[in-house]
Chains A and B, each alone.
Chain A
Amino acid sequence: MAEHSILHVDMDAFFVSVELQRRPELRGRPVVVGGTGDRGVVAAASYEARAHGIHSAMPSSRARRLCPAAIFLPGDHHHYAEVSRRVMAVLTSFTPLVEPLSLDEAFLDVGGARRLHGPAPAIAEAIRRAVLDAEGLTCSVGVAANKFLAKLASEAAKPRASLQGTEPGEGVTVVEPGRELKFLHPLPVQALWGVGPATLARLDRLAVRTVGDLAALPADTVAAAVGEANGRHLHRLAHGVDERRVEPHVEPKSVGHEETFARDHHTRATLRRELVRLADSTAARLRRHELSGRTVTLKVRFGDFRTITRSRTLPTPVSSGPAIARVAKELLETVDPAPGVRLVGVSVRQLAHGAAHQLSFSEAAGGNWDDASEAIDSIRARFGDDAVAPGSAFGPGGPRVKRGGDQQWGPDAGAPPREPR
C-alpha cells in the first residue's frame, strides 16, 4: 500500500468548544448547541452531554429528556464559520492541499510537505499544537494512506465520554503502512462509509458483523446482497482501497437555502412568500461566487417528514432572485401543501462561472433584473444584508433576510410562529 500521507483533521466538539471559549463558566457541564425550539436538532454536544447519550442530529426534545440538566445554546453559525476560517488557515500553512469537508473537518495531503515538516505523524502532531496555540481548540488527527482510513483513524483518536468523566484520546492515530487491514478488519461494518440501516440489515443476514467478515466474502456475494454498485464500493473499502484524491478546490455543485417552520404551513400563499425570500438569498450567494445555474429545485418536507423535490432546467443560467423565485413558485403549483409543510428549500444546480445571462423579451420591455441585482448587491455590501429585501419578506419587525446557517438546526424557541395575518 502507498505511503501514508493523508491526514484527516477533525475538531473536537467544535461548536461547543467555540461556545465554551466565550462562556468558560460552562466548562465541565453538559452543553448542547443546536436548535432550541420544539423542532430543533442537536448540532454538537459537549463530551459531558455525550455521556448521557446525546449526539448530533438527535432531536433537541429527546436530548432534553436524556439530560434535563443540559444547557442548550442556540447555534451561532457566523461565529463558527469565522473560527473555522482561521483554523483552515492554520492547516493551509502546512500544505496547500487542504480539502475542507465542513466547518470542523478537513482532509490534507502532506506528501509534498514531508521534506519541510518531517514525516506525516510528526506533521499531525505539529498541526494539533499549532491549532491549540492559535485558537485554544483541540482536534484529533488520523494519518493513513487514504482518505477513508484517515477518517476512521481520526475517529479512533477522539476523546471518549463516560459518566465517570471524559477520557482523553490519543490525539493522533497513525495507521502504519502494511497494518491497514489489522486496523480496519476488527471495526464494526457500520464504520464503512455507505453502510446505512438497509445495507446493515442485508449484511446481517450474511452474518457480517465486522469489516473483516465483509472482506472475507467474495465480491459477487456482496454485490448480490446489497446491489452491484454499492457492493463493489463496499468490497473495495473493506480491503482498505479508496482512490479519492485530496481536492483543495471542490467547486460547489449546488447553492441553496432551506427553512424549517415553527408550525406547519398549509397554504401556497405563505409558502410562496418564503420561496421569494429563499430565492433572493440563493441568488445573492450565487452572485457572490460569480456563479449562475440552470436547474432550479424546490424541496418540500411535509409534517410527516415525507420529502419531495421538483426541478426544472432552464435554457439559460439564472442568478437573480426574481428569476429563481418564478421557477420555484411554478414548481410549487404542482405540490399540494394541504397536509402541512414543515420545510421548504430552494436550490440551483448546473452551475457555470460568469454571469452570462440570456436576456428575454420581457427584460427588454420592462426592466432588467441583472442591473437590479447589481444594485442590491452593492447596497447590501455597504449597509448590511437586511438593508434591502423582497417586498414579501417584510413583516412587522422589518425585513427577514435568509443568511447562510440561519436556524440550520431548526427554528429557535424564541422565534415567533410566522403565519400570515
Chain B
Amino acid sequence: MKFRCERDVLVDALGAAGRAVANRGGSLPVLSGVRLEVAGDTLSLTGSDLDLTIGVEATVAGDGDGVTVLPSRIASDVARSLDAGSVSVATEGDEAHISSGRFESSIRVLPADEFPRLGAPAGEAVTLASGDFAAALRQVVPAASADDARPILTGVLMTPESGGLRLVATDSYRLAVRDLPGTSVLREGQSVLVPSRALRELERLLAGAEEVTLRLGERDATFEIASVRLTTRLIEGEFPNYRGLIPSSYPNRLTVGREPLIDAVRRVKLMAREATPVRLSMNGDGLELVAITQDVGQAHEQLDAKYEGAELTVAFNPEYLLDGIEVTPGDEITLETVDHQKPAVVRSVEGSEFLYLLMPVRV
C-alpha cells in the first residue's frame, strides 16, 4: 500500500476516524488503530470501538492498493507534527513509513486481518438539512444521562410523531423533547434509541456541513456527512414512558426574557456551591433569583417578568436550568409550574417544537 497526499488531508482524516478509536484498554488491541485502505486514488480510513465506527474517505495520489492498520495515537501525532506540504505513506512488511521532506519514520503496524469487518449500512436513506438536525441535537443530547449504569437513559429516542421526527432524552431529572415536523425518517411505530456519545460526535461533524443522510436500521444507525460516515450500535430496551411525565396543565405561568434570565442565573449561581440550588420566587411583581451557600455567601437578583398564578418559590439545580433555557429558541420563554415539587416546563413563546421539563430541588 502506498499513497501521497497533503499533510492537512491526512491530519483531518486521521483525526475524524480516530475519534471512534477505543481509548480504553482491554478490548481488541487492533481497535487502538485506524484502518487505512487505498483503492486507486481513494483512501478510506476507519476507526471503531465496536459500538461506534467512523469512516472517512479522501482523495490521494495512490501508488499501490492495499490495507494496513496504524496505531491511531502515534500516526496522528506524527502527521500533525509535520510541516505543511506533501506526505507519503507506504507499508513494507509489518512497518509503515511516513515521510515528508527530510523526515522519515517507521511505525510498527497492527494486524489488519484482525480489524472487525463492518456490515453495509441498513435502512432506508433519508437526507435532511443539517442545520435543523444539528440544532435538535444541541437541544436534546445534553439531557441524556452520562451514567453507564442506566444504559437506556444514555440514549436519545428517535421516534415518529405526527408525520415528523421526534427526539427525546432524559436523565430522570430533566427531559428534552424536540420535534422536526415534516421530517419522515421512521416508519410509523418504529423507534430507535441512539447512544448520546455517538450523537455528540455527530454534532461535531455537522458543524459546517449542509446536509446529513440518515439510515436507521434495526441494530445500527448510520449518518453520512459529506465524506464521513458514522455508524453506531443502537441501545436495546424500552425507553421510559416520557409522555406520562409531562403534567397536563399548569396553574402558574411565568413569561420572561431569555437572555436576561440566562445572564441572571449565571451571576446568581456563583453563590450556589456544593450542590445548593438557585431559588426562583415568582409573584405579581416579577421574578427574584436567590442563591445562599452557608459559610460562602449569597446573591439575589430581581428580574422583570409577567406572572400569572399563585405566589410560588421553587428551587432548581442552576446547571440543569441553564441547559434548558440556553437551547430554547426565541427572545421570550415561559416557565410553567404546578408547585415546588412537581416538574416545571420551559418553552419558547414563539413555537412549540421544543419542550424542556425539569424537576425541582427540594430544600
Interface residues, chain A, with chain B CB atoms under 8 Å away: 294, 312, 315-317, 330, 352-365, 368, 370
Chain B contacts for A361, CB-based, 8 A: 170, 172-173, 175, 240, 245, 343, 359
User: Does chain A have a CB within 8 A of B171?
Assistant: yes
Do A356 and B275 touch (CB < 8 A)?
yes
B277 interface residue (CB < 8 Å to A) = yes
Question: Which residues on B sit within 8 Å (CB–CB) of A363?
Answer: 359
* Shortest Cβ distance from residue A37 to the other chain B in the assembled complex, whole angstroms: 36
Whether, in the assembled complex, B361 has its beta carbon less than 8 Å from a beta carbon of chain A, the answer is: yes
Task: Check if A316 sits within 8 Å of B173, measured CB to CB.
Answer: yes
Contact A370 B362 (CB under 8 A): yes
Is there contact, CB below 8 Å, between B363 and A353? Answer: no
Q: Is the CB of B277 within 8 A of A356?
A: yes
Partner of B362, one of A294, A315, A356, A365: A356
Chain A, residue nearest B342 (CB): A364
Q: Pick the contact of A364 from B147, B317, B343 — CB < 8 Å?
A: B343
Contacts of A316 in B (CB 8 A): 173, 275, 317, 361
Candidate in A294, A352, A364, A368 with the most chain B CB atoms within 10 angstroms: A364
15 further contact pairs, Cβ within 8 A, besides A356-B363, A359-B341, A363-B359: A312-B149, A315-B147, A355-B363, A356-B276, A356-B361, A358-B277, A358-B320, A359-B362, A361-B170, A361-B240, A361-B245, A362-B172, A364-B341, A364-B359, A365-B244
25 contacts between A and B (CB under 8 A): A312-B149, A315-B147, A315-B171, A316-B173, A316-B361, A330-B149, A352-B276, A353-B274, A353-B294, A355-B363, A356-B275, A356-B276, A356-B277, A356-B362, A357-B361, A359-B173, A359-B362, A360-B359, A361-B172, A361-B173, A364-B245, A364-B342, A364-B343, A364-B359, A368-B362
A294 CA to B276 CA, complexed, in Å = 13
Total contacts A-B at CB 8 Å: 66
| B residues less than 8 Å from A360 (CB atoms) | 172-173, 359
Residues of chain A lying within 8 A (CB to CB) of residue B360: 359
B313 to chain A, nearest CB (A): 14
Contact A358 B342 (CB under 8 A): no
Closest to A351 in B: B274
A356 to B272, CA, bound (A): 11
Q: Is B315 at the interface (CB under 8 A from chain A)?
A: yes
Q: Which residues of A contact B170 (CB under 8 A)?
A: 361
Contact B275 A294 (CB under 8 A): yes
CB–CB A358/B361 < 8 A: yes
